[in-house]
Every structure is written in structure tokens, then in C-alpha cells.
């Protein structure tokens, strides 16, 4: 293995991974460690930031060894679960509290108060985001108010999302956040180059504790040599959904990607103008290069793969996630069962933080397969709700590119094509999040002159799913879902 490689650190919600890519875009190695999920109270989700670091470092070392040493690594790209907040001490580099995960709903009351005070219109106009516990700003303030060590840290307090935490630990003190992650905090205006003083004041977050906002590709610091055996440069940073959009080659308006992971996230590039949604979609930074921003419209579904995990770990209805495809095919339909998967509230375009999940249509004839199938069907229905909102905002979908762990399930991919009545494409390598981070690192390291050149060089084969569902079945599925939504959503 004589050529130099790109190392990607992909820090997700349920696991952290390191992946090794050739400069031709071929993934040649993967190391993975699971992350412990903490649920101290209903609606609360936490991670141990020290565990994230330790297990990420272990994965990175495994891949560096496979590459033949640090000298074989041209650059590192980092991609991460967005919105998750870490607080640490600048003096010691030690976390001051458990990380609050993006799924966490503990700040729902604070968000409701901000909405009732009339702040949402301004916040959405400035940040592209609705006021919701999903985003980082209220999480940061909660830590200051409720975690004693965070409150006592004073000037030593450092706050950041997970890429900031990993860069700090890798470099021994570089405190940066890329524009794509910063755009998810509600503390940066979409058209501003730095943290917004007014937004920081509104959410009660001290600007001095926040990282410096940087591009998505560039030179962000070098790894301390004792960690990986050499000073490998960190050259790519991006939130996981933006990285996946880049990895799918969706850089220009008209291309749409959906990542089916723990949640489901749909991004449609909109160009150089910050998007404004009238249907409660999100405006976000897709990537920033040499200070120039490119934007996307986004829809966020909180529960997708985590629903399958719930079926396995909490309900005992399946032994492995892979079982769901055969189980769904074992029955001709859902038997009248509709599952509303609001295990962490309901995301876009409904934004109901306090909603809980429910199962409808149970009878004596209902079996395990019907519930499992209804769970899988809920993924396509939530994506269909988003497709309608995108179209109403002037960004209709003509084709969808899917990725993430759940996209490997052919039944889910076909069901999505049928419900959306659109062609759905899946790349041969569904790990497009890591692929996008590798592309950014390659650009930052000078291997490619532009991101478009990296996308063109790394184009991969795809599997195509065309809609085949009959009109009557399609109408029945949509009617059943809409009926449950109408009964479950609060009336205004």
C-alpha cells in the first residue's frame, strides 16, 4: 500500500468509526466501536464525551496501522452527529458533563417559552431554523444552568459540537467549528461570518466559550504526533448530513439526498442564497469554501433507524435489524396497523417536541410482522410529508438519492419509491457521510482543486428503484397515515 490515504473519523450517534480511503475514492478499511447511550429521564439522551474520544482514537489508530503508519495518511476528514453539545475545561481538556445528544428533548419548555415570547420569526429569519430542542443553543444554556462543573468553569469553559471536541483533543487545543456545524446551533446567522451577538444573548450562551468558525475544507491544525504516530493534518470538517450530501454528489439545486440513519435527513442544495422556508423546513449551510457559503433546504426526521433499534432492544420483536426486510415481506400489507414513530417527538414539517409515539389499528389478527412492517412504512410516510413541504417551498423533488444504514434494506428503498412516486437511487457504497468528509479533506489537502472535481472523480455505481405500487394501494396507505396524523397532532 504505497500510495497515501485519507483517514475519515465518522462520529455518529450509536457508534464511532474510522475509515480509510484511497485518493481514487475507494474505501479500503473500517474500524468501529459502539457508543453507550444514556437515558437518565424520559426524553433525555446523553453521551460520555470521554468515551467518544477514547473510542474514536482507538478506531483511528487501527486504521493508521492498516495504512502502514501516519506517513501514509495525507489528511484527516471529520464528520459528526450534529447539534450534540460538549462542554469541557480548556485547562485540562476534560469534559465537564455528559454530552447532550441531538435527540434530547429536555429544553422543550425553554423553547416553548421563547416561541411564546415571539422570538421564532426572528430566529428563523436569521438562522433558517425553527426554535426546537433539537438545536444546540438551548442545550448549551441548559448545561450552564444545571451542570455545576460547567457553571463553575468561568473563563476555562469551552463549548462546541462534536467535531470541535475531536479537533481540540487531536490537536491539543485548537478550538474551531466548521460553518455547516455552526449553522445548526442557532447562534450563527446564515449570512454572518461569526457568532451572532444578538442570538448568543437570546439563548444565553457566552460567545467567549465558542469555537472559531472556519471553512469545511482547509488546514485546521495537525494531530499531536504522539496520538497517531505523526502530525497528520486535519483538512476536512462537516456535519454528517452535509457530508452525506457532498458524498452523494448533490452540490447544485435539483439534486436531493436522504440519509436513513438513526434519524432521516433530507437536503436539497439551493445555491449561494440563504433559503427561506414557509413550510417549517430548515435553511442550513451546505458547505463553505474560502469564505463563500453554499446553502441547502433541509427536512429532519428524528426517528428512523432508532425505531428499528427500539423494535429490537425495547420490544424484542426482532433479533437483528436485517430481519426486518424478510418480516415485512412475510405479510401482504400492514393489516390496518399504522405506527406513528414519535419516540423523540415529531420533526419536520410538524415540529411537535412533546409528541409521543403510538400504534393504531390493532386487532386480534395483528401479528408481529404487521407491527414491524408498519414501522418500516412510517419511514416513507415521513419522507413523503417532507416532499410535500419541499414542493410547497418551491423545491420539488425529481429524483432522490438515499444512503445510510437503512438504505441497504431493499424493501425500504422500494417502499420509498412507491410512496413518493419517484425514482430512488442508492450508491454502491452507502457510507456517503464518510465519503463526503474524505472529499473535503482531499480538497483541503490540495489533492483536488475543487469539491466539484472531487465529486466527478469519485462518482460511484448506483442501484435504481422505480415506483410500481398500484394507485389504489398508494391512496390507501396515504389515507391511513394522514388519518393517524390528524388524530394525533394537536389542534391549533
Asked if 189 contacts 226 with a C-beta cutoff of 8 angstroms, the reply is no
Residue-level pLDDT at 255: 83
| HEC-encoded secondary structure of 190-252 | CCCCCECHHHHHHHCCCHHHCCEEECCECCCCECCHHHHCCCCEEEEEEEHHHHHHHHCCCCC
Asked if 380 contacts 417 with a C-beta cutoff of 8 angstroms, the reply is no
46: left (phi over 0), alpha (psi -120 to 50) or beta: beta
Q: Would you tell me how many other CB atoms lie within 10 Å of the CB of residue 58?
A: 13
The residues, any chain, with a CB within 8 Å of residue 148's CB and separated by 6 or more, are none
Residue-level pLDDT at 166: 98
Residue-level pLDDT at 405: 84
Q: What is the pLDDT of residues 277-324, one digit of tens each?
A: 888 899 999 999 988 999 999 998 989 989 999 999 999 999 999 999
Helix axes 108-116, 136-146, angle to 10 degrees: 110
Mean pLDDT along residues 268-278: 88
Does residue 259 carry a pLDDT above 70? yes
Q: How far apart are CA 127 and CA 410, in angstroms?
A: 36
Enter the CATH code of domain 249-427+461-492: 3.30.420.40
Q: How far apart are CA 295 and CA 284, in angstroms?
A: 6
Give the residue extent of every domain in the chain.
Answer: 5-240, 249-427+461-492
Q: How far apart are CA 358 and CA 488, in angstroms?
A: 9
Model confidence at 2, pLDDT cuts 50, 70, 90, reads low
Enter the CATH code of domain 5-240: 3.30.420.40
Mean pLDDT along residues 181-193: 94
Q: What is the pLDDT of residues 330-374, one digit of tens each?
A: 999 999 999 999 998 888 888 887 789 999 999 999 999 999 999
For 244-285, give the DSSP string: HHHHTT--STT-EEEEESSSEEEEEEEESS----SSS-EEEE
- Residues recorded for the chain: 492
Q: How far apart are CA 306 and CA 323, in angstroms?
A: 15
Residue-level pLDDT at 196: 96
- Judge whether 5-240 and 249-427+461-492 match in fold: yes
Q: How far apart are CA 112 and CA 116, in angstroms?
A: 6
Tell which residue, 200, 72, 189, 179, has the closest CA to residue 124.
189
SS3 label, residue 396: coil
Asked if 33 contacts 437 with a C-beta cutoff of 8 angstroms, the reply is no
Its sign, for the CA torsion 386, 391, 396, 398, is positive
The CA-CA-CA angle for residues 244, 245, 250, to 5°, reads 145
Q: How far apart are CA 442 and CA 324, in angstroms?
A: 37
Residue-level pLDDT at 346: 87
Q: What is the pLDDT of residues 47-96, one digit of tens each?
A: 999 999 999 999 999 999 999 999 999 999 999 999 999 999 999 999 99
State pTM to two decimals: 0.85
Amino acid at each position: 500500500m504505497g500510495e497515501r490515504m485519507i483517514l475519515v473519523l465518522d462520529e455518529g450517534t450509536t457508534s464511532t468509526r474510522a475509515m480509510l480511503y484511497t485518493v481514487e475514492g475507494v474505501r479500503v478499511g473500517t474500524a468501529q466501536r459502539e457508543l453507550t447511550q444514556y437515558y437518565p429521564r424520559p426524553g433525555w439522551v446523553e453521551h460520555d464525551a470521554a468515551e467518544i474520544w477514547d473510542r474514536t482514537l482507538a478506531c483511528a489508530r487501527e486504521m493508521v496501522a492498516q495504512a502502514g503508519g501516519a506517513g501514509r495518511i495525507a489528511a484527516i476528514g471529520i464528520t459528526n452527529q450534529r447539534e450534540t453539545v460538549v462542554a469541557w475545561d480548556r485547562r485540562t481538556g476534560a469534559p465537564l458533563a455528559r454530552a447532550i445528544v441531538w435527540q434530547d428533548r429536555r429544553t422543550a419548555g425553554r423553547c416553548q417559552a421563547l416561541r411564546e415570547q415571539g422570538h421564532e420569526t426572528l430566529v428563523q429569519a436569521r438562522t433558517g431554523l425553527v426554535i426546537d430542542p433539537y438545536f444546540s443553543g438551548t442545550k448549551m444554556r441548559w448545561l450552564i444552568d444545571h451542570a455545576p462543573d460547567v457553571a463553575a468553569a468561568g473563563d476555562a469553559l469551552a463549548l462546541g459540537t462534536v467535531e470541535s471536541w475531536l479537533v481540540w483533543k487531536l490537536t491539543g487545543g485548537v478550538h474551531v467549528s466548521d460553518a455547516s456545524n455552526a449553522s445548526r446551533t442557532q447562534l450563527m446567522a446564515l449570512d454572518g461570518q461569526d457568532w451572532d451577538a444578538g442570538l448568543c444573548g437570546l439563548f444565553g450562551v457566552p460567545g467567549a466559550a465558542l469555537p472559531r468558525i472556519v471553512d469545511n475544507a482547509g488546514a485546521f491544525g495537525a494531530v499531536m504526533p504522539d496520538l497517531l504516530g505523526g502530525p497528520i493534518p486535519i483538512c476536512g470538517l462537516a456535519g454528517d448530513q452535509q457530508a452525506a450530501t457532498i458524498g452523494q454528489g448533490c452540490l447544485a439545486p435539483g439534486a436531493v439526498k436522504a440519509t436513513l440513519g438513526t434519524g432521516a435527513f433530507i437536503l436539497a442544495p439551493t445555491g449561494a442564497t440563504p433559503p427561506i422556508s414557509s413550510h417549517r423546513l430548515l435553511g442550513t449551510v451546505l458547505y463553505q469554501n474560502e469564505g463563500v457559503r453554499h446553502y441547502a433546504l433541509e427536512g429532519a426526521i428524528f426517528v428512523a433507524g432508532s425505531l428499528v433499534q427500539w423494535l429490537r432492544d425495547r420490544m424484542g420483536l426482532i433479533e437483528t435489524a436485517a430481519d426486518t426486510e424478510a418480516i415485512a415481506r412475510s405479510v401482504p400489507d400492514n393489516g390496518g396497523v399504522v405506527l406513528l414513530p414519535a419516540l423523540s417527538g415529531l420533526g419536520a414539517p410538524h415540529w411537535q417536541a412533546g409528541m409521543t409515539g403510538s400504534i393504531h389499528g390493532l386487532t386480534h389478527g395483528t401479528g408481529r410482522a404487521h407491527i414491524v412492517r408498519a414501522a418500516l412504512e412510517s419511514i416513507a410516510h415521513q419522507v413523503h410529508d417532507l416532499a410535500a413541504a419541499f414542493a410547497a417551498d418551491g423545491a420539488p423533488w425529481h429524483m432522490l438519492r438515499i444512503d445510510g444504514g437503512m438504505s441497504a434494506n431493499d424493501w425500504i428503498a422500494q417502499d420509498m419509491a412507491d410512496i413518493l412516486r419517484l425514482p430512488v437511487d442508492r450508491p454502491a457504497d452507502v457510507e456517503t457521510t464518510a465519503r463526503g468528509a474524505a472529499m473535503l479533506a482531499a480538497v483541503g489537502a490540495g489533492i483536488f482543486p475543487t469539491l466539484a472535481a472531487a465529486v466527478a472523480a469519485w462518482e460511484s455505481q448506483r442501484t435504481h428503484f422505480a415506483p410500481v405500487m398500484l394507485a389504489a394501494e398508494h391512496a390507501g396507505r396515504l389515507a391511513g397515515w394522514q388519518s393517524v396524523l390528524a388524530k394525533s397532532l394537536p389542534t391549533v
